[in-house]
Chain A
Amino acid sequence: MKLRQLSLFLENRPGQLKLPCQVLGQAGIDILSLSLADTQQFGILRLIVKDEDRARRALEQAGCVVKVTEVLALEVADRAGGLAEVLEAFERSGLSVEYIYPLSAGHRGKTAVLAFRVEDPDRAVKLLAENGVRVLSREEAFAAMGA
């Protein structure tokens, strides 16, 4: 039910983003989705790949600090108000969202798939189900990203 996201620490200076992308490229690992958070001085790169363990090893061997965190893939209706409906369910469940980024849009015509980072993913899956929101399986999420 959960995706394993790789997070990397990056210094905010030229060339820092290229290194991990190059490492994954040389390892033949495709980046399915990513999000980049930054401050003036440093940034956090979050990556979704299919072969997380191999990607992690390759990145760590290249000297990167990598953290694996679990995120939830949720399907959202791709229309005005679609995300608000899902967030409504979060609110009813008493869950707070740390961050969101898109995994794919236009999937199956009218849906988008987003990655949600919450504090306790297992508890969130249960509470969201009770509130009528289904969390995509790993396979479904990868399929949505065309992998």
Chain B
Amino acid sequence: MGIRLSQIAKTYGRPGTPRALEPIDLEIASGELVGLLGPSGSGKTTLLRIIAGLEQPDRAPAGTLHFGSRDVTEVHVRDRRIGFVFQHYALFKHMTVFDNVAFGLTVQPRSQRPSSGEIRARVHQLLEMVQLERFAKRYPAELSGGQQQRVSLARALALRPEVLLLDEPFGALDAKVRQDLRRWLRHLHDELNFTSVFVTHDQEEALELSDRVVVMSNGRIEQIDAPARLYRAPANRFVFEFLGDVNRLEGEVRDGVLTCGEARLAVELPEGPQELLLRPHELSLDAAPGAAAHLPMTVTAVVPVGAEVRLELAADWLAEPWLATIGHGDFERLDVKRGQRLYALPQRWHRFGAEGQPAAKPSLA
């Protein structure tokens, strides 16, 4: 079942105060897995809760919310038939795992309620799916965080919802468990084919898990795109900066050369002050300057992080230090040490106009 939002806005408190959510239009296709990504306060959780029906959108402008062809704008949460997974699981503390998962089935009106035998069979099937059958008689407090979140997923799926909404589902878990659960959720999504929307502030999680990512800031949608396109073709400066580390280079362009102190970089740009942005992995380092780039810097920190080495680089012509990530091959060839002088060779740079819109960004030879 697809989800369609049209002119949905939200103001907390009195009318006239700044909106938590500017009027938003968004279409999510049936069976899609969409991530809402943004810093805290960007309105992503508000948007998710409005889709769930846990928050009411503003009356003016009168927005609408459709699940498939069904208008659910005025439908109570209880009757929207969605599955909702909370950040801190929100399991019923005083009920066993079994009773938690069975809750949605047991509170149905008597006419629609399955028999207790059917409920038992369904709950055991769900617990098997989340690999927690052995824990049916335990209480939530006796489970680990990852196990609790799996119970919460099983509980949300008990009523076979066609829309599954997840609010920072893995935010409170440690890195390894988070990885496993992500993969497992992706698998579950592909298998059961519901429409999922999840909220996260973790770029990596959004890019890894989603079919499409909705990047939000200040109650606005900045960009909606597939993860690969989002990273390669950011719609504006905010998206570019939010999706990864950024190095800044400011200088004056004259005769096709950007100058900043002793640094020089050949660029095809109009004359005048310019600001270029570079990704740490789009830099290589060498012992000598290149033909097009003379960017001398001093290594101030060397941090080996797994498959790559992260270097912090400073120079007196730079306001803030740069970051560079290089492979272990380059690291050993250059024999990088703290205090060493190296030259940065950018492979690619990005530029955004005054409005934050992307400007031409040619690759360098």
A and B associate: no
